[in-house]
Structures are given as structure tokens and as C-alpha cells.
Amino acid sequence: MVATTIAGALLTLRAWAVDPTELPDPRLQARYLALTHELRCMQCQNETLADSPVELAADLRHHVRDLLLQGKSDDEVRAWMVARYGDFILFRPRFSPRTAWLWLAPGVALLIGAGVCWRIVRGRAALVDADREPVAGDDTEAQDTRG
Amino acid sequence: MNRFALPMAVFVALVVVLAIGIEHSPQKGIIASPLIGKPAPPFSLPSLADPVRAVASADLKGRWYLLNVWGTWCFECRAEHQMLLEARDAHALPLIGLDWKDDDAQAREWLTQLGNPYEAVALDHSGSTAVDFGVYGAPETFLINAQGIIVYKYVGPLTRDVWTNEILPRLPPHAAARS
């Protein structure tokens, strides 16, 4: 279902795409389009295989097509490309010790941000409490957040 | 004052990390090949000199050789040609050409006009062998050892600097001594 939606979306894009390839099975075609949109053209480097007009991209698309027709899985096609061109060919890097920081950094940044927010909110809350109870001795923390 | 100290420190640290990253990024646009240290992909392709004969990786086993990917359509290949001729004359190791998606007649003409640095030229009409080697732009040069392992790869026109400082030092002593 998702695959057909993607295929539908991609098929409308195909009208002005550089790649006229048509696979016999619509499911294969959907996988072909998904794969060529997430593999990098090594020559132009910021374009996907699907978008690049250079000959090497056409050759690599041809290999993607052949591998799919041979019954290879998406992961096998990606592995085939990575064996030749390295991780760089994947626009969506795999999770590995080398790329762990890449995937985990946003989560870590989010946690740090949440921690900072929590501290600020707690500080403000303490400030409100301090205002309500002017005699409370703990006004150093309130001072700290104000300063 | 104090409340800005930590964000400022984080910002400065980030700038330093990024500056180091940019400074030390290996030659921009050059992608490390995953094939270094791995067996060269096997190939058996028709020879330019005699299309009935084959240039095959199996026949090259037991010898160190340079596999040079080129094509007459490749502008930069002309720039490295003189260096290839010098490399041939050094007799350190044979040069094998991989003529990538080229026209045979034009390739022959190119070698007649500019000189032929290659012991043999393999014709990769489909481009499949180049893809197996992870080639993404000619010229590219692979140093392959006697066991058929890719020892080193250079992307771009071969220079005297690369020949002297990257290729010759990697050769076994007797081969390098002849140059």
C-alpha cells in the first residue's frame, strides 16, 4: 500500500525525470524508483542516481535494474553498491560504529535541550514560590536564575 | 555574564571541531575506495591490440601491475599520458589499460599519436568492469600486487609526485630498484 503510494508519487515525477526505465512488474518498478532515489550518483555526488543525466548514473541504474530482475532484495542491491563505492553511495547512511554519532547526535542534542529546559522551568517555578513566601531562606537559586 | 559562559564555550568548541574537520578533510571530492586491501574484481575482456585475445586478471596473477582506467573521451587522461609513458620506461611494473566505454578505433589512434604506455589494453565497452572497480571518473589508477590485491588507488591524472611517493615505495624492493 505504502509502496504503491510512493510509486504513484514517483510516477508523477517521472514525467520530467531523466530515467525512462520501465520494469515489467509494478512492485519491482516501485522498488527500483525507491532505490535509485536513495543511491548517490558518484560522479556528480549531490544528485541521486534517478536524477543524474551522466552516463555512469545510467550504468548504475542499469545494474540496479538487473539486480532487481535477478530477484535480489533491496538490502542486497545496497550491499552490491557499497562493496564497490563505499558507504558514500548511500544517501541514507547505515547504522554502524562509524556512523553511530551521526544517528545518535540529534537524540543526544534533544536530551541536552530537554535538560536545559527542565532546569530553566524549575528555576522559574522556584522563583514563583520564592515570591509567594518572601521569608523562605532559599532565595539564592532565585537570584541565580534572575542574574 | 556567567550565564553566557557555557553556551559560548560550547559554541567555541563547535567552531574548533568544524574547523579541524574542514582542514583535515582528505582531498575534497575524493572518495575512499572500499576495495583497498581486497582482491581486485576478476575481469576478462577483449584486448585492444587483438580483440580475439583476452586480457584477464587471472593471467596477471603473480605480477604487480598498474591498472589505469582511461578513455579517449576523458580530457584529464591526456594530461597524465606523458607520466604514463615515463612510468612505462621506468620498467618498474607493467601498465594495463582499462579502456572505459570507448571507441576502439579512436583508442588505437590515441595510442598511435601519443605513444602506447600499456603492456595490454582491456576493452570495457559495457563499463561493468569499471563499476566493479568502483570507478567514478577517469582517469583512475589501481596498484595491484602479485596476489591480486588492490594495494592503492589514485583518482585523477597520475603525477610524478604520486608515482615517486605513493606507488614506487609500495612496490617490493626488486621491482622498485629497476626504476
- Measured between beta carbons, the chain B residues lying within 8 angstroms of A56 are 127, 136-137
Q: Which of A45, A82, A147 shows the shortest C-beta gap to B34?
A: A82
Residue A13 in any domain: the answer is: yes
Q: What is the pLDDT of residues A16-42, one digit of tens each?
A: 557 777 888 899 999 999 999 999 998
Residue of B nearest to A61 (CA): B131
Checking if the pLDDT of B149 tops 70, the result is yes
Count of CB contacts below 8 A, A vs B? 40
Identify the CA nearest to B118 among candidates B136, B143, B148, B93: B93
| Residues A57, A83 within the same domain | yes
Listed by start position, the domains of chain B span 29-177
Q: What is the pLDDT of residues A67-81, one digit of tens each?
A: 999 999 999 999 999
Q: What angle do CA B19, B21, B27 make, to 5 degrees?
A: 115
Structural domain span for residue A57: 2-89
Checking if the pLDDT of A94 tops 60, the result is yes
Last residue of a domain, one of A67, A89, A111: A89
Residue A104 in any domain: the answer is: yes
The answer to whether the Cβ–Cβ distance between A86 and B101 falls below 8 Å is no
The least confident of A110-114, B24-28, B75-79, B114-118 is B24-28
Checking if the pLDDT of B141 tops 90, the result is yes
Checking if the pLDDT of A131 tops 90, the result is no
The least confident of A2-11, A78-87, B57-66 is A2-11
Query: With contact defined as beta carbons under 8 Å apart, do B122 and B45 qualify?
Result: yes
Residue A94 in any domain: the answer is: no
The domain covering B29-177 belongs, at the CATH homologous superfamily level, to Glutaredoxin (3.40.30.10)
Q: What is the pLDDT of residues B76-114, one digit of tens each?
A: 999 999 999 999 999 999 999 999 999 999 999 999 999
Residue A107 in any domain: the answer is: yes
